[in-house]
């Protein structure tokens, strides 16, 4: 399970590392769009947009459906819960470290004030 989870996180963060793909997700958050529409919106070729959508789809962030000659894209069902949970663990660790640093700074300022030093 850990390896599968790591693979999903790796795929998600790799997909999110590109500004165009983040833009595609933002666009799809508003409404579904065809690959053609996305390519026009981002001023790129169909082939280029297909590659971006494929990366997002492999990460589970986007789902595509082909009807006739049109491939429509929409946000995936999973969302970013697992990725957000991973980030939250590290956010809490940083909060603890920054709180400890704040305590040290406050203690040093108090010592300086007691010793008559200015900031």
The tens digit of pLDDT for each residue in 35-65 reads 999 999 999 999 999 999 999 999 999 999 9
How far apart are the C-alpha atoms of 98 and 25, rounded to whole Å?
32
How far apart are the C-alpha atoms of 28 and 62, rounded to whole Å?
9
How far apart are the C-alpha atoms of 73 and 37, rounded to whole Å?
10
Q: Bigger pLDDT: 78 or 35?
A: 35
Task: Check pLDDT > 80 for residue 1.
Answer: no
Task: Kindly report the average pLDDT of the chain as a whole number.
Answer: 90
Q: How far is CA 48 from CA 54, 75, 90, 105, in A?
A: 10, 19, 34, 51
How far apart are the C-alpha atoms of 86 and 69, rounded to whole Å?
39
Residue 33 φ then ψ, to 5°: -155, 150
Average pLDDT for residues 69-85, to the nearest whole number? 90
């Amino acid at each position: 399970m850990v390896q599968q989870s790591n693979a999903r996180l790796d795929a998600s963060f790799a997909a999110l590392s590109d500004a165009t793909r983040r833009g595609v997700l933002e666009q799809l958050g508003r409404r579904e769009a065809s690959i053609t529409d996305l390519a026009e919106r981002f001023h790129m070729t169909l082939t280029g947009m297909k590659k971006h959508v494929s990366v997002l789809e492999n990460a589970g962030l986007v789902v595509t459906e082909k009807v006739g000659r049109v491939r429509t894209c929409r946000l995936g069902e999973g969302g970013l819960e697992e990725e957000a949970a991973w980030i939250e663990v590290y956010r809490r660790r940083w909060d603890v470290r920054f709180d400890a640093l704040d305590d040290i700074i406050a203690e040093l300022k108090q010592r300086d004030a007691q010793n008559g030093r200015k900031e």
